[in-house]
Amino acid sequence: MPNSFKLNLLYRPRRLRRTAGLRALVEDTVLRPENLIAPLFVVDGKGRPEPVPSMPGVFRYSIADLVKECRLLSGLGVRAVALFPKLDSALKDAEGTAALSPDALVLRAVGAVKKAVPEMTVATDIALDPYTVHGHDGVLTPDGSDVDNDRTVEILCSMAVLHARAGVDLVAPSDMMDGRIGAIRRSLDAAGREQTAIMAYTAKYASAYYGPFRDAVGSAKAAGTRSLDKRTYQLNPANRREALIEVKLDEAEGADIIMVKPAGLYLDIIRMVRTATKKPVAAYQVSGEYSQIHAAARLGWLDLELCRMESLIAIKRAGADMILTYFAKDVAAELRR
């Protein structure tokens, strides 16, 4: 029996949801492969890629395989990578001295990628956690109770200059020491590297979602725990306004890109930062965010493809111009279908 009931509506929002074509016309958040930065892990040697057990589909690559992966990403439209080294434990010490070796693994990796895929934008992590036996992002005070801010910054400045000379496009200080952006900018300029940009980890929170990453770079093993306490330098997850203080400082000190990390649980922070700055905003969808989506999908509780795409759209919608994500390759391939 036909339904004779009819609402007298002037506005029917569903009109523009009726077909895929109409929905595409009015879509206000668009994700492109060019918006993605692929974090990649590199190890010394010539072996096959090593799977990271806590991060399905993520590998540690030899330099040769890293180059292959960068070529593949470039072909999919991903134009930027962020490199993270995993060092042999024998190279680690309390001072992270391997970070300043002119033959450091990450420097050789940068050179290989820029030679083979010159169009690829390369960012490198400026912090000491992959290089220290204690797993902290800097050197410790004499009593070992905290990270020594100023001594760490001095080391990071030298590290950033080495990376710039190796050819990186972006140095990305993730350490959260006070004053390090300004000090690194001055050091880069003094070394004639005015064109090397700084992607600052501006609002990096002391999150419980970093565990798989620490496995991947070996800092968890060095520290003996995934939940290494970094609360004296990373932001309190309960605080919003603190992020704005960091934004103001990093802008004043010369940051070119402002980053929020993690991303998915901090969409309110991304939106707040986007409103507060005219600088480009990056967001890092961290290892724990990636792994929990994979874990739920493996149990059949979530659809992997739909959830990974929705998670990235949410980050972009919140205001991120670029997203560091371990989904970069798969999502870029999906976007190009």
Q: Which residue has the tokens 């200080």?
A: 173
Please check whether residue 313 is in contact with residue 335, taking contact to mean a CB–CB distance below 8 angstroms: no
Is 46 tagged catalytic? Answer: no
Structure tokens at 198: 């700084």
**Under DSSP, is residue 174 helix (H, G, I), strand (E, B) or coil?**
coil
Is 6 tagged catalytic? Answer: no
Task: Say which of 261, 279, 316, 329 is annotated catalytic.
Answer: 261
Cα(188)–Cα(323) distance, integer angstroms? 25
Structure tokens at 91: 């190279």
Q: DSSP H helical segments within the chain, as ranges?
A: 20-25, 63-75, 105-116, 149-166, 180-190, 211-217, 219-223, 241-253, 267-276, 287-298, 304-318, 328-335
Task: Say which of 86, 204, 230, 329 is annotated catalytic.
Answer: 204
273 CB-contact burial (10 Å; exposed 0-12 / middle 13-18 / buried 19+): buried
Nearest-CA neighbor of 209 among 171, 257, 258, 266? 266
Structure tokens at 263: 């991303």
Nearest-CA neighbor of 70 among 57, 84, 82? 82
Q: Could you tell me which residues are beta bridge partners of residue 84?
A: 41
Active-site residue numbers? 204, 261
